[in-house]
Amino acid sequence: MKNLKKRLQQGETLNGCWLNLGSPITAEIVGLAGFDWVLIDLEHGAGSERDVVFQLQALEHTPTAALVRVESSEPQRIHRILDMGAEGIMCPKITDAAGAQRVVNGLHYPPHGNRGVAKMVRATGFGQHFDSYYQQARETVLGVVQIETVAVLDHLDEVAAIEGVDVLFIGPADLSMELGIFGQFDHPRFKEALQETVNAAQKAGKATGILFFNPADYQRYHDLGIRLIACGADATFVADGARSLAKTLAGFRSKL
**Active-site residue set:** 44
pLDDT at 2: 87
Half-sphere exposure of 14 (CA within 13 A, CB side): 28
User: Which one-letter amino acid corresponds to residue 95?
Assistant: T
Looking at the structure of the chain, the number of domains it has is 1
Query: CATH code at 214?
Result: 3.20.20.60
pLDDT at 151: 98
CA dist., res. 207 & res. 197, Å (int): 10
pLDDT at 1: 74
Distance set, CA 88 to CA 4, 44, 243 (Å): 9, 18, 33
pTM of the predicted model as reported, rounded to 2 decimal places: 0.96
**Mean pLDDT per 10-residue run, the chain (256 residues)?**
92 98 98 98 96 98 98 93 98 98 97 95 96 95 98 98 98 98 97 98 98 96 98 97 98 97
pLDDT at 231: 98
Answer for the pair 19, 237: CB distance below 8 angstroms, yes or no.
no
The domain in which residue 31 lies consists of: 4-254
